[in-house]
Structure formats: structure tokens, C-alpha cells
A and B are shown apart, each in its own frame.
Chain A
Amino acid sequence: MNEMEDFNADMLDGLSPFYNDSHILWRNQLRRFLAQEIIPNIEEWESAGELPRSLHKTAAEFGLLGFGYPEEYGGTSKGIDPFHRLLTSMEMGRMGAGGIGASLMTHGIGLPPILAIGSEEMKQRIAPAVLAGDKIIALGITEPSGGSDVAAIKTRAVLDGDDYVVNGSKMFITSGMRADYLTCALRTGDSGSSGISLLLIEMDSPGVSRTRLEKMGWHSSDTAAIYFDDVRVPKGNLIGGENQGFAGVMHNFNGERLGMAAGCVGAAKACLEEAITWARQRETFGKRLADHQVIRHKISEMVRKIKATQSFLELCAWRVNQGETPAADLALLKVQATRTSEFCAREAAQILGGASFIRGNRVERIYREVRVNAIGGGSEEIMLDLAARQMGI
């Protein structure tokens, strides 16, 4: 390989029992899609603070939005296994613009509760429009008073005739500014997890207001605080049974963790690629940066952590593919992955030096995204505690 070429992390992959030609076919087409439709626009969308709706349409036509969803709602699920998913998240992570995946794929958390426990009428009404990129759906769980403690939700829905009347607020809602629908967890019963329902709220309903939240990273993803002031929601928008919402919320989490871990491995590889490319080109004190022992060690440490995380990730994906739900390992995997990407972002920034502090490169963006990965989708602290509980400790 030419020393001056950009380093490609694929070079590190050796023989693997997990990938077949269909995985590589998909990865290569996805890579081409991202290179043509997304990567050239990253800086523009980061500045705009949100994704254009047209991207949802383009991604739907490519099949990315429908990826893994049933054919009857316009998705593509036959022949797709966890390794296709893993590669999808990894490739998107590799762009070093996590906000794009988070915001473009918000239906990945908003839609599954509907498909899992919603009525057939609701599935037919919502899913095809979302998977076609015509409508945007978000998930509303976290409130100003807390997130991971789902059982403590305060926003309330009270039945009044044929409508629920909703009062309260939701916080840190990804795609919240643009969302047409919100799959929203609300209190309809007593305290605790048995008093929670899921309600589909149409965001143009009177009494819904929203405020844009500015963030450290994920700039191309719009994030909102959402307020409900006597919002009337038809009873038919109840997802599943009343007070049965907790299971619907929990339904998402294991798959989400696998995807987030894969995204973090992709981001870590992006950092590695930038660091190695730079270290081989940059000369200091008469030799390449890559010839300084302190830099070589940094690179090897990054590779060591990436390989350990990817191996754990692939084994978890294999187990999920066997029908197992290794909840403790998926929680630990998420922590392993977020710490690896945080480590790699730091070390890559050190290797790039001043260049990593200038806006507009993958390392700089990823460095600002490590916090949201370590906190969102279950914080590291919650994950470690969950794993301990799952292990019966």
C-alpha cells in the first residue's frame, strides 16, 4: 500500500466466520450510497442544525429506512440478519457524523413499539408513510425529571370522553423539532411501571409546542423539548393496552444497544483511519509522526481496543442471530463500545494535534459525540448496574 494513501480500517480485518458475500454486497452498496448522498453534505447539514426531509425520501428509496422492517409495510426484512444490521450501523458510524444516523433513523426507536403492540389499523396508517420517508416519527420517553428511570414518568394522560388529555413535557427528543408523530410514554395509571401507556401523538395537535435544544455534538440532528398543554389525543391512538406501555418501551432496548455499539466501533475506526493517515504523512523532528514510539503505541492501543470491541460485538450479534437475548452482555458491550470510541477520539485528537481542534473533520466531530453515546440509549452507569443485576450480583 502506498504510504500516502488514506488508511482504511478494513485492512485490519482478517478471516471471519461471520460475513458472507451478501453482507459485503450490502456494505459496498451502502458505502456508495453514503459517499454519494450524505458525506458531501455533512458540513452543510451540521450548520443547518437538521436534516432536509428530502434525505428521508432518498434514504427510503435506497431501502435504508425500510431496512429490517416487514415487507407488508414497505420494508425489507427477508434475508436480513444481525450482521447486515451491524454493518449498517458501523458504516454510518464511520462517517463521523452520528447525528445523521440518529436523526435519519429515529423511526428505529419510534416505530418498533407500534409494530410490536399497536393495532393493525395503526400499523397500516403509520408504518408505510414513515418507511417511505413521507413522515417522521420520534420516541418520547425522557422527561425533564429523568430518562432511564422509565417507571417514574410524570407526564400524564387522562381519559375524557373519546380522547386522552395530555399534560406535561418531554426532553432531549431526537428529531423532535421535525417529527410528525411521537411515540410517547405517559402515565395513565398508578405510580410505577404498571401505570404507563404508550400513545401516538400527532405533533400538529393543538397544545403541542416545542423548543430546539442546541447541543455539544450531533449538530445535524434536531433535538427538542416538547410541551403538552391539554393536548387531546383520540383513544384510538393508544399503542397496545392501557397501562401496558412499559413492555413496549423496553422492547426497543436490546436491539438499540447492539446498533449503538456497532456505530461506536465505526466511529472508533474513523478516528483510527484519520490518525494513521495523518501519522504517516506528517513529519516532525526529521521523521514521520508514525515513527515516534509514543505515537506507534497510541495507534496500537487504539487497534487493540477496537479489535476487542468488534470481536465482542460480532459474538453478541451471532448469539442474537441464534435467538438468544444476552441482556447483560449487550449492556456491557455498549459500555465497551462507548469507552473505546471515547478513547480513540481522544488519542486520534492527540495525534492530529491542532488539526483536530479545527471544525470540519471526523475526529473533531466524533470527539464532540462521545458524550451522547456514553449517556444516550442507557448511560454507562445504568448499563453496568443492569449487567450486575442480570448476572444476579
Chain B
Amino acid sequence: MKILVPVKRVIDYNVKARVKADNTGIDLANVKMSMNPFDEIAVEEALQKKESGEAEEVIAVSIGPSQCQETLRTALAMGADRAILIEEDSDVEPLVVAKLLKAVVDEEQPGLVILGKQAIDDDSNQTGQMLAALLGWPQGTFASEVKLAGDKVEVTREVDGGLETVALNLPAIVTTDLRLNEPRYATLPNIMKAKKKPLDTKTVGDYGVDVTPRLTTLYVAEPAKREAGIIVESVEELVQKLKDEAGVI
């Protein structure tokens, strides 16, 4: 079985994002970028399945500018077998990504696609679900455990109030939550060897997908500054403030 792992190049998780002066987006010029942390967990899970003999090949795929090669190299350095870069300089929305991934799935015929549940840049949390819908495959999202059993995969999901385990028929879509695993570190020799592993570069044209945005970003702003708290004198005052000022009761 092949496992396909989509990975996204995002602003490094330690960098404080800055909004552009004209409020049209986040300033990414010369900002440190790295692989979306949820996607690292997805790569790790796929590699563990390969090491246990449950999968034969792990393929990483990324969609974005040519610098996404470095992100794919990270996946290759961790142990993925090969990589596909679909080069596209414009911002791609989750639906476009899902359509491109569907095209890759049609071509590669993986038994499992493991994605991060969301990317830490836009926090959309849509791609995995959209891909499942486009393919007509079952989905197990927010996985904290993924067990392959014959032609099924059992996915333990972190839901409000506990854990839910669902059994899906393969092929299936899984999206990863933080507690699924602890991604391995890529060794320096493997980082270097990854430069020699196959990395195919494609364009969106190769898959005939329309990348025209369907969403318009109106305005991007810093989150409101957190204001200092106040100490209320009595329960009555608290209730009154929640009612009149916060407007929550």
C-alpha cells in the first residue's frame, strides 16, 4: 500500500507573524518558513506504518512556490521515498488544494492519505474533509491513534468529552491531531541524502485544475490587544457587568 502525505510550507511556528502595513495579508518576505507541524506528525505516522511493514511507499506532496522543495526535502529527510511538488505561486485555497490532491490520488492510487488536520498559517481545517468528499472516501479526522486492520483502518478521534473510535474501509482519509505521535528528527546524513531522492515538479496545468480564488480577503489585522482584567467587588457586580458590558448573559 502507498501512503500519500500532503505537506504545507508555512511560517515557522516560532516566528511572530506580522501583518502587512496595507492590511492585505501577512508579511512573508525573508520570514523563516518550515513544514506545518501537523504535517510533520502525518509524515511520522506514514513512516511508522512503512516501518511496521503495513505500507510499502510514502509519497510526500506539496503545492506552492518552488521553495516548497525544502519542505518536501524535510519529509524526504525524515524517510519519505519520493516527493511531488505542484508549483504554483498564487495563494491556493483549500478547495483548490483538495482538487489537486484528488488528481494526485487518482494518479498514485494510495490506500491512505494522511494529512495534518489544519495548517498553522490560516487554520482552515478543510482540506482533508474536502478531499474525502471529492473522492467519496471515508474520513477519520483529528486522529490520536491510527491502526490498520486488514482492509480497514481504525481511527481514534479526539472529540469533546472523550475519545471516539471509528472503523473506515480503505482507501481512506486521516487527519492528524497533536497527540498522534512525536515526529522523529531527521539526521544530518539523511538531510543530505534527501537531496538525491526523486522529487517530481508539476504545474497545476498538468492536472487541469482551476486555481482562481473563490474567496476574497477583505482585511487582515492583528488580534485585539488583551486588556488588563479587573477585580469585581461582588457577585451582583459581576452579573451586571456580564449583562451590560460583555453582553454575554
State the A residues within 8 Å of B (CB): 1, 3, 8, 10-11, 13, 15-17, 19-22, 24-26, 28-30, 32-33, 36, 61-64, 66-67, 76, 78-79
Q: How far is the CB of A11 from chain B (nearest CB, A)?
A: 5
Q: Is the CB of B34 within 8 A of A28?
A: yes
Instruction: Jot down 5 A-B pairs with beta carbons below 8 A, ordered by A.
Output: A13-B32, A15-B31, A21-B33, A29-B188, A76-B192
B30 interfacial by beta-carbon distance below 8 Å? yes
Residue of A24, A30, A62, A78 contacting most chain B CB atoms (<10 Å): A24
The residues of A that contact B240 with a CB separation of less than 8 Å are none
| Given contact pairs A25-B186, A67-B188, a sample of 12 additional A-B residue pairs in the complex whose CB atoms are under 8 Å apart | A11-B16, A17-B30, A20-B70, A21-B33, A21-B71, A24-B33, A26-B188, A29-B186, A32-B184, A33-B185, A61-B187, A62-B187
Q: Is the CB of A22 within 8 A of B30?
A: no
Question: Which residues of B76-90 have CB atoms within 8 Å of chain A's CB atoms?
Answer: 77
Binary contact readout B29-72 vs A (1 if CB under 8 angstroms, 0 otherwise): 11111100000000000000000000000000000000100110
State A79–B226 Cα separation when bound (angstroms).
Answer: 44
Q: How far is the CB of B58 from chain A (nearest CB, A)?
A: 18
State A78–B189 Cα separation when bound (angstroms).
Answer: 10
B249 interfacial by beta-carbon distance below 8 Å? no
**Which of A3, A10, A25, A76 lies in contact with B74, CB distance below 8 A?**
A25
B195 interfacial by beta-carbon distance below 8 Å? yes
The residues of A that contact B182 with a CB separation of less than 8 Å are 36
Q: Is the CB of A32 within 8 A of B189?
A: no
State A24–B14 Cα separation when bound (angstroms).
Answer: 11
The residues of A that contact B195 with a CB separation of less than 8 Å are 79
Q: Is the CB of B32 within 8 A of A24?
A: yes
State A20–B12 Cα separation when bound (angstroms).
Answer: 12
With A3-B226, A15-B30, A16-B30 as given contacts, are A76 and B15 in contact (CB-CB < 8 Å)?
Answer: no
Whose C-beta in chain B lies nearest to the C-beta of A63?
Answer: B188
**Which of A17, A19, A36, A63 lies in contact with B32, CB distance below 8 A?**
A19
B117 interfacial by beta-carbon distance below 8 Å? no
**Which of A16, A21, A32, A79 lies in contact with B185, CB distance below 8 A?**
A32
B191 interfacial by beta-carbon distance below 8 Å? yes
Q: Is the CB of B77 within 8 A of A29?
A: yes
B183 interfacial by beta-carbon distance below 8 Å? yes
Q: Is the CB of A32 within 8 A of B183?
A: yes
The residues of A that contact B190 with a CB separation of less than 8 Å are 63
State A16–B30 Cα separation when bound (angstroms).
Answer: 6
Q: How far is the CB of B162 from chain A (nearest CB, A)?
A: 25
B73 interfacial by beta-carbon distance below 8 Å? yes
Residue of A15, A20, A25, A32 contacting most chain B CB atoms (<10 Å): A25
Whose C-beta in chain B lies nearest to the C-beta of A30?
Answer: B185
Closest 9 A-B residue pairs measured CB to CB? A63-B188, A21-B70, A10-B14, A15-B30, A32-B185, A33-B185, A11-B16, A29-B185, A63-B187
Whose C-beta in chain B lies nearest to the C-beta of A64?
Answer: B188
Q: Is the CB of A21 within 8 A of B34?
A: yes
Q: Is the CB of A36 within 8 A of B16?
A: no
Question: Which residues of B204-249 have CB atoms within 8 Å of chain A's CB atoms?
Answer: 226
Q: How far is the CB of A108 from chain B (nearest CB, A)?
A: 15
Q: Is the CB of B15 within 8 A of A11?
A: yes
State A29–B183 Cα separation when bound (angstroms).
Answer: 10
Whose C-beta in chain A lies nearest to the C-beta of B183?
Answer: A32
Q: How far is the CB of A146 from chain B (nearest CB, A)?
A: 38
With A13-B32, A24-B34, A62-B185 as given contacts, are A29 and B191 in contact (CB-CB < 8 Å)?
Answer: yes
State A250–B111 Cα separation when bound (angstroms).
Answer: 59
Whose C-beta in chain B lies nearest to the C-beta of A22?
Answer: B70
Question: Which residues of B151-208 have CB atoms within 8 Å of chain A's CB atoms?
Answer: 182-192, 195
Q: How far is the CB of A154 from chain B (nearest CB, A)?
A: 40
With A11-B14, A25-B73 as given contacts, are A36 and B185 in contact (CB-CB < 8 Å)?
Answer: yes
Q: How far is the CB of A289 from chain B (nearest CB, A)?
A: 15
Q: Is the CB of A25 within 8 A of B185?
A: no
State A28–B185 Cα separation when bound (angstroms).
Answer: 8
Q: How far is the CB of A139 from chain B (nearest CB, A)?
A: 23
**Which of B16, B73, B185, B191 lies in contact with A1, CB distance below 8 A?**
B16
The residues of A that contact B29 with a CB separation of less than 8 Å are 15
State A365–B88 Cα separation when bound (angstroms).
Answer: 49
State A359–B14 Cα separation when bound (angstroms).
Answer: 28
Q: How far is the CB of A60 from chain B (nearest CB, A)?
A: 10
Whose C-beta in chain A lies nearest to the C-beta of B73?
Answer: A25
The residues of B that contact A24 with a CB separation of less than 8 Å are 12, 32-34
Whose C-beta in chain A lies nearest to the C-beta of B193?
Answer: A76
State A64–B190 Cα separation when bound (angstroms).
Answer: 12
The residues of B that contact A61 with a CB separation of less than 8 Å are 187
The residues of B that contact A29 with a CB separation of less than 8 Å are 74, 77, 185-188, 191
The residues of A that contact B185 with a CB separation of less than 8 Å are 29-30, 32-33, 36, 62
The residues of A that contact B31 with a CB separation of less than 8 Å are 15
The residues of B that contact A25 with a CB separation of less than 8 Å are 34, 70, 73-74, 77, 186, 191
State A247–B158 Cα separation when bound (angstroms).
Answer: 63
Q: Is the CB of A26 within 8 A of B32?
A: no
State A8–B13 Cα separation when bound (angstroms).
Answer: 11
Binary contact readout B2-29 vs A (1 if CB under 8 angstroms, 0 otherwise): 0000000000101110000000000001
The residues of B that contact A76 with a CB separation of less than 8 Å are 188-189, 192
The residues of A that contact B184 with a CB separation of less than 8 Å are 32
Q: How far is the CB of A262 from chain B (nearest CB, A)?
A: 17
Q: How far is the CB of A57 from chain B (nearest CB, A)?
A: 13
Q: Is the CB of B191 within 8 A of A63?
A: yes
